[in-house]
Amino acid sequence: MAVGIFDSGLGGLTVLEAVSKRLPDVPFVYFGDNAHAPYGVRDAEDVYQLTTSAVARMWEEGCDLVILACNTASAAALRRMQESWVPTNKRVLGVFVPLIEAMTERQWGDNSPPREVAVQHVALFATPATVSSRAFQRELAFRAIGVDVEAQACGGVVDAIEDGDLILAEALVRSHVDALKRKMPHPEAAILGCTHYPLMEEIFADALGPEVKVYSQANLVAESLADYLGRHPKMVGEGQNSVFLTTGNPRVVSNRATQFLRRKIEFVSA
């Protein structure tokens, strides 16, 4: 009865922690494509091929439902996968929609026409590939009107986090926030559109200031997944064991994951 959690690297561990706490009886298969991280500088076709390969591997582990806990994969590959690749007995879901639903105060599955919402000025921090895809703006437009979104491509942040250089990551975050504020001086809300970024959430919040509400994805995805499995219990696959898979060096990835989560994590080769 396993559910898959996929990310290009370690960022999806923030989602894994949240969903594990929310659904303690469900085993999760985590796949980190560390050998090819970061995805945020790759083109859409490359991201699609890497993501489908990883998801197929997770199906082998008994996961009928896989969460793309990678915003770049959700932006560049998810729609194509759902339309032409995912078989009818499987599901692949992304991480954008739960966040947008929270920001626009919608319940899951509310497909009513777009309407005006309280938040009018939104800062989006994401990878270059996610920003160029405009997937966030497209999903938001289905639900809200009149929202001004200013996107900031945060080059280098994921690389620094994956390398364990949190001092560099902090400096880059502050630089990107400064760049965003030059374009949008007074955002009302900020979206951390990469699952690596919650590891730097306090830095984002400090740089943005107390008047800006910061939306991070992990807990929102956890609640959305719990709701989805409550309505679709058969989508919990046949897998019985939690496992951490990586395309990278298992020892190095395990050490970094242990550092991030502050508990022992053991990755094996995918």
- Asked if 9 contacts 199 with a C-beta cutoff of 8 angstroms, the reply is no
Of 194, 220, 221, 229, the active-site residue reads 194
Of 19, 70, 172, 180, the active-site residue reads 70
Is 70 known to be catalytic? Answer: yes
Type of residue found at 81 = M
Helix pair 218-231, 96-103: axis angle to 10 deg: 100
* Active site residues per annotation: 70, 194
